[in-house]
Chains A and B, each alone.
Chain A
Amino acid sequence: MAAEGVATGAATAHLTMVQAINQALDQALAQDERVVVFGEDVGVMGGVFRATDGLQAKHGAERVYDTPLAESGIVGYAVGLALAGMRPVAEVQFAGFLYPALDQVLSHVGRYRHRTRGRYTVPLVVRAAYGGGVHTPEQHADSPEALLAHAPGVKVVVPSSPARAKGLLLAAIDDPDPVFFLEAIKLYRSSREAVPAEPYRLELGRARVAREGDALTLVCWGGMVEVCLQAADVAAREGVELEVVDLETLVPLDEETVLASVRKTGRAVVVHEAARTGGFGAEVAARIAEGALFHLLAPVARVAGWDAPYPPFTSVEHHYRPDAARVLAAVREALLT
């Protein structure tokens, strides 16, 4: 996959997404002494996914450290650090364990700037592994992006590749507002990509066209980008060119890129792995209805998880998480209209 927008020319290495994230954290720690990295098991062990591997040894236990096992405490403590001038980067092991911290997210993280009329801000980053496809136990595969996106005042970023992840994470750490950075577990090690060695930042709040096409727009983010690109490959063999729009940032949403694509193709399918009802796909579908209804040749369709908790049952998990076949079935239906 081409890493468009990513600086080229300098030395690159072929990295997995988790390695790219590790490199971003390493460079953020080196560039800005206000950055601290903490969470459950991030210090000595380097995080359950090794995203913080080696960082404590390199930057010291004052800057990279373990916290007690308490998500509300982690996020609430990060709020305090941020408003006292630090740049905290907290890790929550699995987004399904963000729920104890949602109180902090909804009550404080998203409100501080507004509540103090800009006097205090909380430029924090919370990284959390999300999503399925790797046969995890119960509650380790949840995709709570819609819960976060519904809290005004926070930003929600979901990278889809190693090079994108690095640039977006460095931008998130610099951002003056709180950013939730959701990393698809499925993508952590599934592929490698050329990642420039020097630090670089990608703009938040921009969707990107990951593949151009004219027949239909697939809107997706994070772990579903890979799935949608697979579906587009299959369709292309049948002569149907699908456009894939990777939102990357859910909040603030780059509606224009989505609408421009749908106005061109006339058809849209939104794909996500969270449950369908009230999922972020509903927001995208509503925006398309508001902004491009008269360009539509077919109803906007959604391919999503079912309205049930994400199943931890290995042999049926793939029925829950959208795959290329389900995406293509929705595409066919839309194209028949």
Chain B
Amino acid sequence: MEGTVRYVSEDGRPLAELPFGEAELLRGYRAMRRARLFDERAVTLQRQGRLGVYPLFRGQEAAQVGAALALGPSDWLVPTYRDTAAAITHGLPLATALLYWRAHPAGWSFPEGVRVLPFYVPIATQLPHAVGVAHAGRLRGEPWVVLAFVGDGGTSEGDAHEALNFASVFSAPVVFVVQNNGWAISVPTERQMRNTRIADRAPGYGIAGVRVDGNDLVAVWDVVRQAVDRARAGEGPTLVEAVTYRLAPHTTSDDPSRYRDEAEAGERERAEPVARLRALLEARGAWSEEREEALVEELRAEFDAAVAEADAAPEPTPESIVEQVYAEPGPDQRRAWEALRGG
């Protein structure tokens, strides 16, 4: 991890003076713990047949939550399919997130005021959108910053290059966070690229680049916060490489034992982000088993309420298939609507 920003060791010791006070650290821990609980409970729901295919993020909480915490409410988040943790941290209600992964139309319209674009399935194609949103802020005189995620595999797509180049040329206020989690489904990073230090690409685009320990919430939060500040000050985009590890399978349909040595995942548990920050807080006397239990209980109640809310959403009608294709349905949508309503 040479040249990699890190504030907290794997066993939770501070390695430098921390840029955050205790209240902020506790806020960060809560947000990460909340994300982890979402992931754990989402898998359970999926196994019960109450959620569709779901892309897990366990192990990547610090990368997503840390980056999202660096945003203000007027800033935009442009996530990949794996970034539910970032989305709920940036204000996406849990029930909406659940309905999204339940593939229910009610979950596909994020609430007004929550500046989170939809989870994108096609890899890296959303990155040019992030640049457009960023440039629009400039043109409209609104100083919003855009945080866009991509995976290590996604950096191989042409759109990743086009977006980095556009952002660089337009000096757009975008922060690109590559979650380098070691794998793109079954393909390891070394098979995806020759130079696996993804932050090294930044100088090639003439923009700032930082490599950060993606399992260190303090480091990710601080690095992205600085990048957001620079972007807001008109100093252009940053490419942040958050080195992390996906402890979980790619999705609930994936079987990593076919391609990954699962001893590796066991080994990586040591560096995982939630326990790391908890150890740091405990060593400072700011956390305890009791407080943990109380927090988990509170988060469970919040999650259960969200499940109840999601369950209460009415069944989608067949007509919803052809709704919202155009602002005004054309003759072909109207015909389909009638047929679906009648059938």
Contacts and interface: CB of A to CB of B under 8 A. Distances in A.
- State yes or no: do A and B come from one complex: yes
Interface of A: 36, 62-63, 67-68, 70, 72-73, 75-86, 88, 100, 103-104, 107-108, 113-121, 152-153, 155, 175-177, 205, 251-253, 255-256
A253 B332 contact: yes
B312 interface: no
A77 B135 contact: yes
A77 B132 contact: yes
Chain B's interface size range is 35 or more
Interface stretch (B47-55, B121-129, B238-246): B121-129
B118 A80 contact: no
A119 B110 contact: yes
Given A76-B162, A253-B330, 5 more contacts: A80-B128, A80-B129, A81-B132, A104-B159, A152-B325
A30 B109 CA distance: 33
B110 A77 contact: no
B326 A107 contact: no
A80 B327 contact: no
A252 B128 contact: no
B252 interface: no
Nearest to B78: A80
B195 interface: no
Interface in B318-334: 323-327, 330-332
A77 B324 contact: no
B109 A84 contact: no
Interface stretch (B82-90, B136-144, B301-309): B136-144
**Main secondary structure on chain B at its contact with chain A?**
helix
Nearest to B334: A252
A108 B125 contact: yes
B45 interface: no
B163 interface: yes
Name the residue in A121, A177, A252 with the highest tally of chain B Cβ atoms < 10 Å from its Cβ.
A252
Nearest to A124: B132
B105 interface: yes
A155 B326 CA distance: 9
B164 to A, nearest CB: 10
Contact of B140 (A78, A85, A152): A85
Contacts of A88: 132
A146 to B, nearest CB: 15
Contact of A116 (B110, B129, B132): B110
Contacts of A120: 117-118
A62 B162 CA distance: 20
Given A79-B132, A113-B326, A115-B118, A86 B140 contact: yes
